[in-house]
Amino acid sequence: MFPLQRGRRLRTNESIRSLVRETSLSPSDFMFPMFIAEGENVQVEIPSMPGIFRRSIDLTVKEVLELFDLGIRAVNIYVKVSENLKDNTGKEAWNKDGLMQNAIRAIKTACPEMIVMPDVALDPYSIYGHDGIITNGDVENDSTNDALVKMAVSHAEAGADFVAPSDMMDGRVLRLRQGLDAAGFNNVGIMSYSAKYASAFYGPFRDALDSAPREADVVVPKDKKTYQMDYANRIEAIKEALWDVEEGADMVMVKPGIAYLDIVREVKNAVNVPVTVYHVSGEYAMIKAAAERGWLDNDKIMMEQLMCIKRAGASLISTYFAKEAAIILNQK
């Protein structure tokens, strides 16, 4: 039968396509992950992440102001901790005058409306590169949670809007909510890394912070698979996200991004809170490497992947492409 319905009528030109487009992107959809280093006027490019830098606090603040002018409204911050400050307790993580705490204060002073979500995990502070305290050859869950509460409260005291636990300890969202409330920070939110997979896509990130598991003079896990999720699992991600919402998470996160869009949609359908997706360092690095060789168009692939993440159900996308994408969107 001759077709009465012709899908191509709605694809005739860009004006029509824009009228019926189901998903859109704006700079406010993005959160920019930032790496912070000690010192002043320090800016060191991360070799495996072209265009991404470790910056000292002064230059971080300058970058934050530029991001805000572009329409980006959230930053997720991480610190590169000096080796002499690392131990197995992670105590530097709740130093009120630590690098993270000073960075939060500086950003909020310079740009009060920028939403600051500091990372809550012990791996940057650990001599073993793990997200928690090593006891008897394993990451000890409950003592790690005690440390995370101290860390989160110190972030709140410094001015953080949300804390972002990325550690994957059992029960930590409830403990963080209780600890923040007890300290008087009822309005500080929790963006929980709920479905964080044990992924090989994190390699460049660990280069940036020197936070990979390392050889030690005691028995330690060789990887993070006892607490990060098995990438073969789907139902487990839904369970973890639901648990975190029940424990008080204001947002949940799926990490990584593009390779896990099925999980993004499943979690989006299951929860009643915003879903954040982390478009991770390895996904960024692959596009940059292919673009440098002329195999892919950086801007087109970047925008396509970000749109696909949004289409899958992301309310917020944490991406190293945030600034590049915002510049393109602002030119339209």
Catalytic residues: 196, 255
- Residue with structure tokens 């992947």? 305
Tokens at residue 224, please? Answer: 């993070």
Burial bucket for residue 89 (CB in 10 Å: 0-12, 13-18, 19+):
middle
Q: Phi and psi of 317, rounded to 5°? A: -120, 115
- Cα 307 from Cα 283, distance rounded (Å): 14
Task: Of 188, 178, 109, 182, give the one whose Cα is nearest residue 156.
Answer: 188
> What single string gives the DSSP state of each residue in 168-232?
--TTHHHHHHHHHHHTT-TT-EEEEEEEEB--GGGHHHHHHHT-S----SS---SSSTTTSBPTT
* Cβ pair 33, 51 in contact under 8 A: no
Q: How many CB atoms lie within 10 A of CB 203?
A: 15
